[in-house]
Chains A and B, each alone.
Chain A
Amino acid sequence: MKHTISVIVENKPGVLHRVSALFSRRGFNIESLAVGTTADPDISRMTIVASGDDQTLEQIIKQLYKLIDVLKVFDLPELESIERELAMVKVKADQKTQTELTQIADTCGAKIVNVAADSVIIEISAEQDKVENLQRLLEKFDIIELVRTGKIALQRGSAE
């Protein structure tokens, strides 16, 4: 089972290592990890996508709470959360293909953020499956480079 886990931590040196090492030590594979500060610059939020069974997850959450620098941990319920991933795709393009690429970007809610003589960079911020869908559509144009951030997510409503 895939889980999206939010870990709110104090911004102390080594905290990223402490958290990520705990996942590997307890047999959980991290698929993606995104870290950034929250509204409070001394506090960061780590959004971790990981897979493993429920019992291991429960154990990991409890172990995370034991880390002194960890303030809060929650397993984000998929249906009640807004999830986003950011991707940038550099694709080979000439004048002919550019219009087609613009169309694809439009229908996918992506945008072209850079145009060079022989390539364009398309940016998308969306749910994971939409990002993957765009990637599939772009494959036939020869992807030169692709970069994806880890997922970030927030629960809907006023719940924290």
Chain B
Amino acid sequence: MLSLGIDSGSTTTKGILLDDQGIREKLIIKTSSSPRKSLYEVYDTFWSDAVGCTVATGYGRSLLKKANRKITEITCHARGSRYFEPNCTGVIDIGGQDCKAIALDEKGNVTDFLMNDKCAAGTGRFMDVMMGILEADLEDLDDFVINAKAISISSMCTVFAESEIISLLANDIPKGNIALGVIHTIAERTATFYGRLNLCGPVFFSGGLSKSKIFCRVLEEYLGQSIKTDVLGQYTGAVGAALIGYESVE
């Protein structure tokens, strides 16, 4: 049997198709102005008679009427993280517009969670906007900050940080230093946020920023512990959704 998991996030929509052998197919697309459309685009790509269960997660999850189940991103991220890192007891996810921290027990059940969804600071969007001002691509983040020295950015609000960066640029501060400063700001924020859960075990880090080696290294510095990531980290929610679907049918 195949199981389909779709994660409808604010920036991207992800789909995972899996069976008892593991992940079979994956797809990531930008979430358009109509999240429903993006959801169905992923759904139509993967759906066939062989799919025994479809689980939707993420902000837009209720839009997929054809889903067998709708489960929150907290539960799905927890399940997905365990797939990538079977021993983790903590999860950090930096999404496009929010940031989550999840605590798990030994069996992988969620015991506590925090969501920062009120403010763009400390999310992927913050990094995105700042890189935009620096006229650089988020994908090239690691190259962009090579040999840079972090400059401290004091504004936490996206709008104020924007003007702070513009004045730094006016003062001829190298762009790489500014970008590294932004990385430090987000990483420090994230670590403090995660610290509220008071956990000590292995932590899995997911979301778009987990692809950046520098970001991971800085985050580890603030956390005071090493973190686990996976090349498919961005799919954590979708993987979790597909697994929950699979397990509920089996």
Do the two shown chains form a genuine complex with each other?
no
Taking Cβ atoms with an 8 Å cutoff, the residues of A that contact B are none
